[in-house]
Amino acid sequence: MAQSNIMPGFRPAISFTLVYLALIVLIPLSAMLLKTFELSLDEYWAILTNPRVQASFRISFGAALIAAFVAGVFGFIIAWSLVRYTFPGKRLFDALIDLPFALPTAVAGIVLAAIYEPRGWIGKIVMDTLDVQIAYKPLGIVFALIFIGLPFVVRTIEPVLQEFDTAMEEAAASLGATRLQAFVKVILPNILPATITGVALAFARGVGEYGSVIFIAGNMPYISEIVPLLIITKLEQYDYAGATAIGLTMLILSFLLLLLINGLQWWVRRRSGQL
């Protein structure tokens, strides 16, 4: 860094960033990695291939993925309504979107479980009409994760939609496009990168979500047991190495998935000329 930089404060800024990253992210994560090294590769492999562990991975990642996509669709519609229309109570509605950010997740979980359980307000209606049970089933996990993930999607799409030049829609219409064509060919490609970011955030949050899920999941091994719960269970049995092994695997998987999503996003942006 011998050459002078236009932006002042490079050294203090980068130093702070590195120290922060080390203290908050890198050191704790390496500690976890080191703890895992107490296990031999065979032992590590045995923990991972355990059917109960594998089932929990499937449930955690599967539910988070489904929930993120559902939140993506719902979030898009909600962001659209908030940006494009005016209606009474819009500001209140707008404030409610952030509630899952602020609410203690356990509270959210208990409330969701109470409402969606077979005898709850909504759970009873769904049970009676569709014969589907939501709470204490994998479906309940998806519901909780949609609730948690929605604000991520809404808040990432909203500013992009606000910035979207509506003259582009008018241009599409003047060129003979129908409303649907204008939406699919003009609006959607411009909002898609932000939507992917929102879905990725909702997914990342969903994979690690614990508090709101355990109350509604039922936590049946092989059926509705999520990975974070399994880690807690192992910790309670003083199986620290086992817990960290699962934790590390989860970290790697999440990292790979986020990398994949980033790649997808880069590809979408490049295809749409935004790079």
Binding site for other proteins (CB under 8 A): 165, 167-168, 170-178, 181, 185-186, 189-190, 272-274
Any idea what the Cα angle at residue 250 is, between residues 71 and 248, rounded to 5°? 155
Alpha helices for 103-239 (secondary structure H): 105-116, 121-130, 138-163, 167-174, 179-182, 188-208, 211-217, 227-236
| Residue closer to other proteins, measured from CB, 168 or 256 | 168
| Residue closer to other proteins, measured from CB, 98 or 163 | 163
First to last CA, the chain: 28
Q: Work out how close the CB of 205 gets to other proteins at its nearest, in angstroms, rounded to a whole number.
A: 28
Q: What are phi and psi of 37, to 5 degrees?
A: -70, -10
Q: Work out how close the CB of 270 gets to other proteins at its nearest, in angstroms, rounded to a whole number.
A: 10
CA torsion angle 251 229 139 197 (round to 10)? -30
| Residue closer to other proteins, measured from CB, 40 or 166 | 166
| Residue closer to other proteins, measured from CB, 51 or 273 | 273
| Residue closer to other proteins, measured from CB, 9 or 176 | 176
Q: CA 30 to CA 135: how far, in whole Å?
A: 37
| Residue closer to other proteins, measured from CB, 125 or 175 | 175
Q: Work out how close the CB of 184 gets to other proteins at its nearest, in angstroms, rounded to a whole number.
A: 10
User: Measured on CA atoms in the order 30, 36, 42, 45, is the torsion positive or negative?
Assistant: negative
DSSP secondary structure letter of residue 39: S
| Residue closer to other proteins, measured from CB, 118 or 189 | 189
Q: CA 58 to CA 51: how far, in whole Å?
A: 10
Q: Work out how close the CB of 274 gets to other proteins at its nearest, in angstroms, rounded to a whole number.
A: 7
Q: Are 115 and 121 in contact (CB under 8 A)?
A: yes
Q: Work out how close the CB of 189 gets to other proteins at its nearest, in angstroms, rounded to a whole number.
A: 4
Q: CA 59 to CA 54: how far, in whole Å?
A: 9
User: Measured on CA atoms in the order 130, 68, 186, 168, is the torsion positive or negative?
Assistant: positive
Instruction: Give the number of other CB atoms < 10 A from CB of residue 260.
Output: 11
Q: Work out how close the CB of 267 gets to other proteins at its nearest, in angstroms, rounded to a whole number.
A: 13
Q: Work out how close the CB of 80 gets to other proteins at its nearest, in angstroms, rounded to a whole number.
A: 18
